[in-house]
Chains A and B, each alone.
Chain A
Amino acid sequence: MSLNGGWEDNPGLKKRFLLLSLAVVLIFLLLVLRLWYLQIISADRYRELSEKNRIRYIPVAAPRGPIYDRNGEILVDNRPSFIISVLRQEVEDKDALLARLAEILGEDPAELEKRWQSGSRFPRYRPFPLAEDVSRESLEVIQENSVNLPGVLTEVRPLRSYPHGELGAHLFGYLGEITQKELQSKQFSSDYRPGDFVGKRGLEKLLERYLRGIEGERLLEVDVKGQELRILKTQEPQPGNKVFLTIDRKLQAAAEAAFGEEAGAAVVMDVKTGAVLALTSRPAFDPALFARGISGKEWIDLLQNPRHPLQDKTIQGQYPPGSTFKMVTALAALKAGAAYPSTTVDCGGALSHGNRKFRCWKRGGHGRVDLKRALKESCDVWFYKVSLDLGIDRIAAMARALGLGIPLGFPLEGEKTGLVPDRQWKQQRHGTRWYDGETVIASIGQGYVLTTPLQLAVMTAGIANDGIVPRPQVISRIEDLAGNILEEMQPEILNDAQLNPSDLQVVKRGMEAVVNEPGGTAYKSRLDEIRIAGKTGTSQVVKLKDDHAPKREIAYRFRDHALFVGYAPAQAPEIAVAVLLEHGGSGGSNAAPVAQKIFASYFDVPIPVHAPPSSPMPEPSPLSPESFPPTSTDAVNSPPGGEGGPAQPGAASAMTGTAPLIEPSTPAPHPPSSPPVADDRSLPPGGEEIVPEAEGD
């Protein structure tokens, strides 16, 4: 190792250190000279440049991607809206400015002050909105007075618009201002800023990254007065991608119209591909409220509405399926050999099992019924009887095979799975064994059984499609601006239920009879040109002691749900429909007509006006007045333990207590002297047919 002395002797080194230090000082001197030139000699010139150099940075919002229906008809669009925003960097007298603006806009100065405060988290050079979606008149006044309003900018910003109003509101969802929490989450961290609007629900949320687009910006050089000198940089915004849905706008509109004022849900599905053609949940909300920023009061109103307009009932509503479940029981029984198409049961209006009596909806009984008639007239006793041999586990397996009680993988958030009970579930959930009585009521879709309307549509499509159950999908494809396809739907099979063709044949014939044969529970909802196959259902929300109370006297929330599921054309099925009317009466009289309108719209056929009561009534006998109360599952014994209507357990226990025999609401024929009608709830004057609206269920 060389030592200190070793190199100090090197005569060159001393000189080199000196030279090195000199060079360093010289170079620094050069830097200082340059700084002196910039900061002293040219300071005035640069200061002037800097003064002039008032650059405005204006972000240009990207139009969100439009949403189209399957035929390219626009469902969700953007419209230009005028925004008054303010650049803090250019405002000198804030209070005077706000006062002047408040006068022009006719707003409360305190409100503007509040928005100013919330805007101060933005950088000073970034404009933030003081008033959104202002009228053209206000805009013009502001533009005329721009000299007196330094720092105030008028901008045009695209705002979501909904050409069809409430149509598809739940599906599309809505936007809302990004929250602090979202800003800090991984999904939004990169290119989102406070004040941005993001999808909060539905497709807007699901497809946020496709729909958002890329914000553009403009750099403007302005003079001291705020006059634009030149545009330094323009980066055009890039609109979001186009989303095409499987929804058919016309059909969706027809489905929503068919509900009238009723609450509920309807799903229309292509039986082969699983493409959802209509998905409606009523009542709906106006998504435009959210687009412009919903007010506190409007929000509270929506939240507190007892009919839950914000809930997407198609996937989030869970209801007992009632008699629409009978296909499941029938197919399970046929598959297991617990029943045959020819198995006949003598329905005397009730089945006694143990010390309990399970009633058919039809007090007087159906007499001898085979499977087809049991479906057609919705005889409960046939299913009660068969289910006892079949057992709950086999019913549950069939239900799940057909898409009930399982997650469907539907892309929208918040999909509920419903509930298909079996022995294991009961043991785990309640820690008690399963009772036969529970099998009996489960066989007609009551008790613990819960399904969503979407699941019912999937089940129906699965039956129509010979046991191949399609997965429901609603996004057909996503295209970028140039038309390149980014995502495209591929039909998927949810499950192959492996149904025996002959079993299917029988069940399908029964479903056809429901609509097309006199005495079928939905006979009055048939179409002339197209044969519909279907099944009605009336599911009990709660058991009422007084089953003769007129509908109007029963509290809304205790009324039965009305259901109908069906497909058409019966011979070569194209679509499956599930309709649920929340607290809507009975399946045959209330839900089936809604489905009828949907089918009529899809096939573009007229709704026939069926002849009034004089039409041939093939089974007059059961129509004696006292047998008439069409109702829900009549007289279902409470299962041991008194676990009754699952939909509203609280209400149920309140109403039922431990009474073993409680019966669902049923209006008395009314007025009694008039020709017996299925029920008095929904038939338009003169249009009724005397069909045991049985739906029994």
Chain B
Amino acid sequence: MFDRRLLTHFDWVLLLTVMTVAGIGILNLYSATSIWTGSGPPIYLKQTYWLGIGLTIALGVSSVDYRHLEYCGFFLYGLTLCLLLAVLLVGKTSMGATRWLDLGLFNLQPSEIMKIVIIITLARYFSQKGNVRGYSLRQLFVPFALLGVPAVLIMKQPDLGTAMMVIFIGGTLSLFAGLRRTTLAVLAVLGSSAAGGGWFLLRPYQKQRILTFLNPEHDPLGAGYHIIQSKIAVGSGGFWGSGFMQGTQSQLSFLPERHTDFAFSVFAEEWGFTGSLILLGLYLFLIIWGIYIARRASDMFGMMLALGVTAMIFWHIVVNLGMVIGLLPVVGVPLPLFSYGGTSMVTTMIGTGLLLNISMRRFMF
């Protein structure tokens, strides 16, 4: 049933913002990888292809009423959980982690799908079990179980970054659904003690990252190298930056992963504080706009869905930038729309599609 209102209410602001950020990202990748001499198409071109694919997916996702998702939410959840289990059993191992299912044509990363699916699942749960007085600890058992099982499975891969993202997204949604004061207090105590206990569950390299974060100069050539070099890159950018394709840090390849997780360092070096402010402004606008969409959603499910997607994008931005500028330990989390990578692009664009979807159906019941 095509409704003309869908077009009139199409959220051009959101789409334009997303495309602008992605465009800046591609420009930045062009600079970051300009000196590479590899075979195959250059990175920035590949990222452009991914953006095209992502855009198609986003428009596809936005065209089917999101309310259908409410009914198949748990089915999707079960399916993705099975995929996560399959990864642990028959997954493809690369660089010490088993994250992918080899589907022949491409490698599927179920933990990425889980980011979206957990949003749908919890949105459905919280929207159906509306609770004016706030959730008690016991009432939270089900959503926490829904959240905990995939998080543990992802942690086992091990993929700390994604597991953390899933927990952050779920946490944000739970918090927003409303907690009782006592619940909040208990959770805070539990959380901090769990953080202490969790230390012993971390793998050595993960501990190393956290230690390094606390004192990067301690190991300047090993694990601290990334952080130090990234900080030098960002800092040396100064107010105006060194100019497009002129960043010595990035161009001289001291920066590791400069096309993926550390893409922002390149940008900050070449465009300086001004450029960084503009980019951050765009990201902030995107997040606030996401919240705005949630605020205006036509139903509870749509609201929670929009909030979840916004939370996902938000946490990626904050954790990535926090890492790049030395506020947080090095965790492999990409900067949405900016870091090179098809997986991240597709996940972000599915989220964008959902936001568009909710936004343009805000007057429809």
- Choose from B37, B39, B235, B287 the contact partner of A121 (Cβ within 8 Å): B37
A183 with B39, Cβ < 8 A, contacts A12-B178, A42-B235, A124-B251 known:
yes
Q: Decide if B299 touches A1 in the complex (CB within 8 Å).
A: yes
A124 surroundings in chain B (CB, below 8 A): 35, 251-252
In the complex, A148 Cα to B175 Cα: how many Å?
66
A189 with B303, Cβ < 8 A, contacts A16-B176, A40-B239 known:
no
In the complex, A352 Cα to B21 Cα: how many Å?
94
In the complex, A42 Cα to B273 Cα: how many Å?
12
B78 at the interface (CB under 8 A from A): no
Q: Decide if B37 touches A122 in the complex (CB within 8 Å).
A: yes
Q: Decide if A20 touches B132 in the complex (CB within 8 Å).
A: no
Q: Decide if B284 touches A123 in the complex (CB within 8 Å).
A: no
Interface residues in A, total, Cβ within 8 A:
49
Q: How far apart are A503's CB and chain B's nearest CB, in angstroms? A: 57
A46 with B130, Cβ < 8 A, contacts A123-B35, A183-B39 known:
no
Q: Decide if A31 touches B37 in the complex (CB within 8 Å).
A: no
Q: Decide if B221 touches A232 in the complex (CB within 8 Å).
A: yes
Q: Enumerate A17-52 residues with CB–CB distance to B below 8 Å.
A: 17, 20-21, 24-25, 27-28, 30-32, 34-36, 38-40, 42-43, 45-47, 49-50
Q: Decide if B132 touches A38 in the complex (CB within 8 Å).
A: no
Q: Decide if B318 touches A16 in the complex (CB within 8 Å).
A: no
B221 surroundings in chain A (CB, below 8 A): 232-233
Q: Enumerate A432-460 residues with CB–CB distance to B below 8 Å.
A: none
- Choose from A16, A46, A121, A189 the contact partner of B178 (Cβ within 8 Å): A16
The 8 A CB mask of A612-638 against B (1 = contact, 0 = none) is 000000000000000000000000000
Binds A, one of B4-12, B184-192, B320-328: B320-328
In the complex, A560 Cα to B209 Cα: how many Å?
76
Binds B, one of A3-11, A70-78, A236-244: A3-11
A40 surroundings in chain B (CB, below 8 A): 238-239, 273
B272 surroundings in chain A (CB, below 8 A): 39
A183 surroundings in chain B (CB, below 8 A): 39
B183 at the interface (CB under 8 A from A): no
B314 at the interface (CB under 8 A from A): yes
Q: Decide if B268 touches A55 in the complex (CB within 8 Å).
A: no
- Choose from B178, B251, B253 the contact partner of A57 (Cβ within 8 Å): B253
- Choose from B176, B235, B254, B291 the contact partner of A45 (Cβ within 8 Å): B235
B100 at the interface (CB under 8 A from A): no
B251 surroundings in chain A (CB, below 8 A): 124-125
A490 at the interface (CB under 8 A from B): no
- Choose from A7, A21, A32 the contact partner of B288 (Cβ within 8 Å): A21
Binds A, one of B54-62, B158-166, B226-234: B226-234
A658 at the interface (CB under 8 A from B): no
A39 surroundings in chain B (CB, below 8 A): 234-235, 237-239, 268, 272-273, 276
Q: Decide if A184 touches B232 in the complex (CB within 8 Å).
A: no
- Choose from A36, A53, A123 the contact partner of B36 (Cβ within 8 Å): A123
B299 surroundings in chain A (CB, below 8 A): 1-4, 6-7
A368 surroundings in chain B (CB, below 8 A): none
Q: Decide if B300 touches A2 in the complex (CB within 8 Å).
A: yes
Q: Enumerate B182-241 residues with CB–CB distance to A below 8 Å.
A: 221, 229, 231-239
Q: Enumerate B111-161 residues with CB–CB distance to A below 8 Å.
A: 127, 130, 132, 134
In the complex, A233 Cα to B254 Cα: how many Å?
12
In the complex, A16 Cα to B229 Cα: how many Å?
39
B63 at the interface (CB under 8 A from A): no
Q: Decide if B300 touches A7 in the complex (CB within 8 Å).
A: yes
Q: Decide if A7 touches B130 in the complex (CB within 8 Å).
A: yes
In the complex, A34 Cα to B328 Cα: how many Å?
12
Q: Decide if A35 touches B365 in the complex (CB within 8 Å).
A: no
B298 at the interface (CB under 8 A from A): yes
B17 at the interface (CB under 8 A from A): no
In the complex, A45 Cα to B234 Cα: how many Å?
12
- Choose from B283, B322, B365 the contact partner of A4 (Cβ within 8 Å): B365
Q: Enumerate B286-300 residues with CB–CB distance to A below 8 Å.
A: 287-288, 291, 294-295, 297-300
Q: How far apart are B357's CB and chain A's nearest CB, in angstroms? A: 16
In the complex, A625 Cα to B36 Cα: how many Å?
78
- Choose from B291, B298, B318 the contact partner of A31 (Cβ within 8 Å): B318
Output the residue of A12, A31, A183 with the most chain B CB within 10 A: A31
- Lowest 3 CB-CB distances: which A-B pairs, in order? A46-B235, A50-B236, A43-B238
Could you pull out 24 A-B pairs where Cβ atoms are within 8 angstroms?
A2-B299, A3-B365, A4-B365, A6-B300, A7-B300, A10-B132, A16-B176, A16-B178, A21-B291, A25-B288, A31-B280, A31-B318, A31-B327, A32-B277, A34-B325, A38-B231, A39-B234, A40-B273, A42-B235, A43-B235, A43-B237, A49-B232, A124-B252, A194-B37
